Amino acid sequence: MISSKGHLNPGAPGVRLDRFPPPPGTGDVVRHLWRVRWSLPDGAVQRQRVLSYPASNAVIGPEGAVLSGLGTAVATQELAGESWVLGLLLRPAATRLLSSEPPAALVGRVVPLPGAPVEAVQDARRDDAAAPAALHAALSGWLAPFVERVDERIRLCNEVCRLAEEDPDILRVDELARSAGLPLRSLDRLVKEHVGVTPKWLIDCRRLQEAATVLYADSEASLPDLAYRLGFSDQAHFSRSYRKVIGETPAQTRRAGELARAAGNVPPRLR
């Protein structure tokens, strides 16, 4: 089982979130699998807050399958009753393998995903003791043609996204280009073509996801200290960028965390 920074309030009462490695041999297409199961009392609604990775998700549930394009803000999913979904967090450059539409056209959208192995996944999820092996078996054949279409530009774009996400010393696009060994224009074209956003968004996404996680978990966190640590020129610049990428103000994220704690939800650990 592996960790994820996507869900801001995993493990909320009545909701179970599990994460698993991808099926063997599919790592160029799928980053990890995530499964959410919930069982809530009649009339109860659990709101799950999710921060976007710089990637799309293939989501399979009882009603079928969809491709959820990259989101550029905190999203809130309302859960009620009893059900489940299985998600495949795709590698950033893999979206174009699963859709005929360009990645930029899918940003913020959810579209049908024909051909996904819905029935096989439904059967596999019944054998909880065998997860993730049963899920891997259900997905491997479907994913194989996508894996065969992975080329060097897709791998290069995935590596660029990995650098932007994992290297805290990369604060500007020129630094990302230098680390990736690419001219600025080539970097911009590669990321826009395969992911649908700009290289600057990749960098800001990493920095502001970290800020959102801290603010959600700790209402006493200092905004000036966060802004300085994440490389912003001042608090005002930080707050403007935060609202643009996360889709809400730092104060709104803090308040959401306070409400979650008051309701008994456990916030994520500070990283």
Q: What is the CATH number of the domain that holds 249?
A: 1.10.10.60
Confidence at residue 4, expressed as pLDDT on a 0 to 100 scale? 43
Final residue of a domain: which of 119, 148, 177? 148
- The predicted-structure confidence for 189-236, as pLDDT tens digits, reads as follows 999 999 999 999 999 888 888 888 899 888 889 999 999 988 888 899
The model's confidence at residue 87, banded by pLDDT at 50, 70 and 90, is very high
Final residue of a domain: which of 125, 148, 171? 148
Same-domain check for residues 104 and 214: no
The model's confidence at residue 105, banded by pLDDT at 50, 70 and 90, is very high
Degrees (nearest 5) of the Cα angle 149, 152, 157? 100
**For residue 267, is it within any domain?**
no
Confidence at residue 197, expressed as pLDDT on a 0 to 100 scale? 93
d(CA 196, CA 193): 6
Same-domain check for residues 144 and 170: no
Residue 26 has pLDDT above 90, yes or no: yes
Confidence at residue 267, expressed as pLDDT on a 0 to 100 scale? 47
Same-domain check for residues 121 and 196: no
* Contact in structure between 63 and 83 (CB atoms under 8 Å): no
Confidence at residue 128, expressed as pLDDT on a 0 to 100 scale? 74
Residue 240 has pLDDT above 80, yes or no: yes
Confidence at residue 265, expressed as pLDDT on a 0 to 100 scale? 62
Confidence at residue 151, expressed as pLDDT on a 0 to 100 scale? 98
- The predicted-structure confidence for 178-191, as pLDDT tens digits, reads as follows 999 999 999 999 99
Same-domain check for residues 54 and 179: no
Can you spell out the DSSP letters for 120-181? HHHHHHT-GGGTTHHHHHHHHHHHHHHHHT--HHHHHHHHHHHHHHH-TT--SHHHHHHHHT
Residue 94 DSSP one-character state = G
Same-domain check for residues 52 and 131: yes
Q: What mean pLDDT value characterizes the chain?
A: 88
Same-domain check for residues 60 and 87: yes
- The predicted-structure confidence for 145-155, as pLDDT tens digits, reads as follows 999 999 999 99
Can you spell out the DSSP letters for 23-69? PTT-TTTEEEEEEEEEE--TT-EEEEEEPPPSS-EEEEETTEEEEEP
